Amino acid sequence: MIDWIDVESELQRRTQHWKISERIERLTHRKEYPKARDKGPGNTATRYKLRDVEARRPAGVIDDLTAGYGFAVPALVNGLKVSIDGYPENPSEEAIGRLRGVLV
C-alpha cells in the first residue's frame, strides 16, 4: 500500500494552492496542502510540490490537474513510501528475520 507519494508538477498557467487543494479534496475526500515553489502575484504559482498522504488515487489526481490546468512538463514522482504488513505464519525471531530479509 502506498503510504505517501511526493509529486512535483509545473502547470501551464498560474493558480493559487487552495484551488488545487479543493480539486484534490473533491477526488480523495482528504485535505492536502500543495506547496508553491514559485510564488508570484496574488500568491499564485505554476510549480507545486504535493505530498499525497495515503495515496489511493494518484493517477486520478494527476488526470484532474491535467484537465484543469495542463502540465508544462510531465509530473515527477520524487518520493514514495510503501507500507507492507506481513507476519510469518509461525512467529519466531528466525521467521521474522527471514521475512524482513525478503523485503529488504
Mean pLDDT confidence for 61-90: 87
pLDDT attached to residue 14: 95
According to DSSP, residue 13 is labeled: E
Question: Which of 2.30.30, 2.60.40, 3.30.2290, 3.30.70 is the CATH number of 2-103?
Answer: 3.30.70
Q: Is 19 helix (H, G, I), strand (E, B) or coil?
A: helix
pTM equals 0.74
The two beta strands, 44-53 and 71-82, are unpaired
pLDDT digit string, tens, across residues 29-54: 888 889 999 999 999 999 999 887 77
The domain limits of the chain are 2-103
Integer Cα distance of 49 and 42 in angstroms: 18
Q: Under a CB-based contact definition with an 8 Å cutoff, are residues 19 and 80 in contact?
A: no
